[in-house]
Structure 1
Amino acid sequence: MVKLAGLTLKLQRSAFALPLAIVVAGLMLAISESAYYGADSQLNTLVEMNQAKMKLIAVISRVTDAEAGQRGYLLTGRPEYLEPYRFAAVDTVEGLESLRVLYAKLGHKESEALRAKIAESAQTKLSELKEELRLYDEGKVEGAQELLMTDIGRNHMEAIRTSAEALLANENRLIAAATANVFDTLLLNRVGVAAMTAISLLVVTMFLRQGRQLERQRELQQEMLQAERERLEREVLRRTAELTELARHLQTAREDERARLARDLHDELGALLTAAKLDVARMRPKLQHLPDVQPRVAHLVETLNAGIALKRRIIEDLRPSTLDQLGLVPALEILCRDMAKQLGLDVASELTPVSLSQSGQLSVFRLVQESLTNIAKYAQATEVKVLLRPEGTDEVLIRVTDNGRGFDVAQVGRATHGLLGMRFRVEAEQGELRVRSAPGLGTTVEAVFPSHVPPATSEVPEEADAAGDPAAGMTQPGTVA
């Protein structure tokens, strides 16, 4: 039983299962067709043998009718007895010819020999009857009666009956054998069909079981793929969150470093420049009597003023003091105004106060600053519009639009660090950046930030210059003190 189960399992997994099913179906068809043609041939043979039997009986009957009609005419002399004789004689000849054709088709040598004897005896009997009638019609009544009273006619009839009985017995034996062959063929067909049906059911069962196993394996694979896909999605989400957090941390660290550097420049370098300027201011009255030194002193004062202005621009580039001191909207207004003066552009601003966290305000400021810088470098624009407004109840929209030459957004590569920096900065604040542009149609940089209540205090200290420093009021990059 275990071996049978193992063999069935091997057949289910074998590549020969389908060819086996095809072979089984072919065998079923072959057995069925073979049984059908065998039975059909045997039945046709039986029909022909029965026809031969019926024709043989009819021939014997017609020979008897011919003899009876001839005897009645010879005994009575009445011509009406001749008509049955003539019909019986003609039918006998036709019947003998039909028997010859049938037995030639059947091909039974013994039956063919008996048929030949019957045909010979019947022909002889008909010749005898014809001779007696000839003698009677010629007036030789005594000669006809003498021939009639002999045993020749009886012997011929006895020979016909004996041969016919032997032929009928042989035909019955052949019919019995053919009938048995028909039943054997039908039995063989029945057994074969039953066996092939059982094998077919087994094969179908194997295929169904194999199909269920394949379906189950497919379901398991789908479940495994789904689980792996979900795991990968979770991993991607985790890595994305980690990268976003890392980008936020790097941005924060970068801004903190910029603030620290701006503070150090303001405190240390501002103190040095202020001390140098105070020293020059103290020395200048004492050098009035040295005309040759006055131009040098004036040049030194101008150099100190230029250094202080450079310090202011560097500090503003590192950390916009206007953003911490005045807020987002004034800082953007100053940025737009200074950029318009610096580049000779028409920068229109539509700025509405919004609620953003300190980091969100800084991200908006940097986005506008980067966009204006890109416009100045690449856009060749004449008009720029900056829009800041609340979007709905929980979002803030910032949009920078120019009428420059534009570019194909699909062709922007990974090396475009400005746009990538904007995107990471915006996504670090849980926002969304959209860039729309086309060659010759300008560019629109748009970002949506979630609204936040700004913190009550600022972590960045005020960056006022030391007392007496002419650089106390800081301006935007590109301006002159």
Structure 2
Amino acid sequence: MDVLKVIKRNPLTFPVACVVVLALISISEGAYWQSSRTLDRLGAMAIVPTRLQELQWGVLDAAAARQIDTATATADSRRAQVLADVQAMQVIAGAFAALDAYYADQARPRALLASLRQMAAAKLAAPGGDARQMDAIRAVSAELLQFEAGHVVAGRGSLYDALMMGRVGVATLGLIGLLTLFIALRQRAALEFQRSEQQRVVQAAHDLLEREVAQRTTELTELTHHLQTAREDERGRLARDLHDEMGALMTSAKLDAARIRSRLMALPTPAPEAQERLTHLIATLNQGIALKRRIVEDLQPSSLGLLGLVATLEIMGREFGAASGLQVHSSLEPVALSARANLMIYRLVQEALTNIGKYAKASHVWLALHGRDGQVEASVRDDGVGFDMLQPLRSAHGLMGMRFRVKAEGGTLDIVAAPGLGTLVRARLPQEQPPVEVDVVPAA
């Protein structure tokens, strides 16, 4: 697969490489076979001087054997003479046969061989003749050797040409290969540069997007913190107005009704219907005062500042269980948090319990608050219907508000849910470090 990818990225490199390899093989094979034929011809040329030398020695041996006087020679001498003559003639015949076969298709050497055969025959016909006959045989042999020397020079030239052709071809194809490699490397470098530029642009866009996301997240966190602060301030103002203004009015109305009822009871003719109406009015005013106190407590929980976070969450859980009919299990430990973080945890648990009462269809609820390893963990878990976290929620503003409120306090929020397995809302906050007490030593 990698090879195919490389070929697809460089469509010209592979065909050019194939052509270069085939050309190298062709040049190498052509030079080899031409050199082999030239060497074979040069090897075959070696028989010419050998055969010519054998021919000259054979003629001399035969002439010497025929010069012996047969009249005065003994029988053994005559037999040796005949044997030497026969052997010399065999050598001469073998030399001429080899030379005829070698020069079968060459006219000029065959004419010289014919002259040489005639001179040898003349020499053998008159063995004791003129010595110039032998010189003529040597001259013709030298001419044949000169002819072969020309062939040797031509063969060497052909061999050098074949070697030079191989060298030039290999060098040329090597340069072509280097040029192709340079082009391929240049294309690859251009592609790498283009890819790196694209990666740089993408990375720059990604970094810019991350910065914008971080900036937007920071802005949203700050906005959430501002809105939460404004909301809590508004709640505090409403709570104070309800407590001061409405509380005073309802208490005054209750006192007035109580005085009217006491006066009606002191009359000589009591009015039972009026007393009953006043009693109902006082009960209604008491319910209104209780409702006012509950609303004020929801707007600004006074128990959070008076009793602390643990007691406030216990009260909230108990009241939620009584109102919803669910079993609430609490596991709460005192933790070190700022007043603002305590209020955030209170609102988080309040929002989670509200969602459980509306959507969870649960039977049990677990509240937990623990501190460990410098972290405070607060969680609310139920055994309700849960939800699919991969599917978008129709109303996720409450969960989003929780997440930003926790993030504004430097913490993280995890929500774990699955259909039929309930929901877990868990917040982790850095635990507040107690102030370091410094002992001041008075100056002496």
User: What is the CA-CA distance between 1:90 and the residue it aligns to?
Assistant: 2.6
Give the TM-score normalised by the residue count of structure 2.
Answer: 0.73
Amino acid corresponding to residue 338 of structure 1 in structure 2: E
Aligned to 2:333: 352
Aligned counterparts, 1:381-392, within 5 A = 381-392=362-373
1:402-448 deviations in Å (ceiling 9; x for gaps):
4x246466446444444433322222211122345566666543322
Give the TM-score normalised by the residue count of structure 1.
Answer: 0.68
Verify the 8 A CA contact 2:389 2:418 in the aligned structure 1: no
1:68 paired with 2:45, answer: no
1:58-96 deviations in Å (ceiling 9; x for gaps):
234334433433444757461101222222333333333
With over 3 angstroms needed to count, the CA separation of the structure-2 counterparts of 1:434 and 1:202, relative to structure 1, is: closer
Amino acid corresponding to residue 84 of structure 2 in structure 1: P
Supply the distance in 2 between the matched residues of 1:377 and 1:220 (Cα, whole angstroms): 54
User: What is the CA-CA distance between 1:198 and the residue it aligns to?
Assistant: 5.4
- Where 1:390 maps in the other structure, the secondary structure is strand
- Where 2:334 maps in the other structure, the secondary structure is coil
Of structures 1 and 2, the one scoring higher in RCO (CA 8 A, sep 6+) is 1
With over 3 angstroms needed to count, the CA separation of the structure-2 counterparts of 1:168 and 1:229, relative to structure 1, is: same
Aligned to 2:235: 258
In the comparison of the two structures, how many residue pairs are matched? 417
Supply the distance in 2 between the matched residues of 1:327 and 1:200 (Cα, whole angstroms): 84
1:337-363 deviations in Å (ceiling 9; x for gaps):
212322344434343333322221111
With over 3 angstroms needed to count, the CA separation of the structure-2 counterparts of 1:35 and 1:438, relative to structure 1, is: same
Aligned to 1:83: 83
Supply the distance in 2 between the matched residues of 1:440 and 1:210 (Cα, whole angstroms): 59
User: What is the CA-CA distance between 1:365 and the residue it aligns to?
Assistant: 0.8
- Where 2:330 maps in the other structure, the secondary structure is strand
With over 3 angstroms needed to count, the CA separation of the structure-2 counterparts of 1:17 and 1:341, relative to structure 1, is: closer
1:238 paired with 2:215, answer: yes
- Where 1:37 maps in the other structure, the secondary structure is helix
Equivalent in 366, 381, 406 of residue 347 of structure 2: 366
Aligned to 1:471: none
1:25-48 deviations in Å (ceiling 9; x for gaps):
655554454434333322222221
1:138-188 deviations in Å (ceiling 9; x for gaps):
xxxxxxxxx75898x999989866654443332222222222333344444
Verify the 8 A CA contact 1:121 1:160 in the aligned structure 2: no
With over 3 angstroms needed to count, the CA separation of the structure-2 counterparts of 1:215 and 1:321, relative to structure 1, is: same
Q: State the percentage of identical aligned residues.
A: 43
- Where 2:380 maps in the other structure, the secondary structure is strand
Verify the 8 A CA contact 1:389 1:396 in the aligned structure 2: yes
1:111 paired with 2:109, answer: yes
With over 3 angstroms needed to count, the CA separation of the structure-2 counterparts of 1:258 and 1:38, relative to structure 1, is: same
- Where 2:414 maps in the other structure, the secondary structure is strand
Q: Which runs of 5+ in 1 are unaligned?
A: 1-13, 130-146, 456-481
1:170-212 deviations in Å (ceiling 9; x for gaps):
2222222222333344444445555555565566666667766
Aligned to 1:46: 42
Aligned counterparts, 1:413-432, within 5 A = 413-415=392-394, 416-432=396-412
- Where 1:424 maps in the other structure, the secondary structure is helix
1:447 paired with 2:427, answer: yes
RMSD across aligned C-alpha pairs, in angstroms? 4.5
With over 3 angstroms needed to count, the CA separation of the structure-2 counterparts of 1:154 and 1:74, relative to structure 1, is: farther
Supply the distance in 1 between the matched residues of 2:357 and 2:179 (Cα, whole angstroms): 82
Supply the distance in 1 between the matched residues of 2:165 and 2:390 (Cα, whole angstroms): 79
Aligned to 1:144: none
Supply the distance in 1 between the matched residues of 2:307 and 2:163 (Cα, whole angstroms): 109
Aligned counterparts, 1:94-173, within 5 A = 94-104=94-104, 107-112=105-110, 114-115=112-113, 117=114, 121=118, 125=121, 148=126, 164-173=141-150
1:333 paired with 2:310, answer: no
With over 3 angstroms needed to count, the CA separation of the structure-2 counterparts of 1:112 and 1:22, relative to structure 1, is: farther
With over 3 angstroms needed to count, the CA separation of the structure-2 counterparts of 1:317 and 1:59, relative to structure 1, is: farther
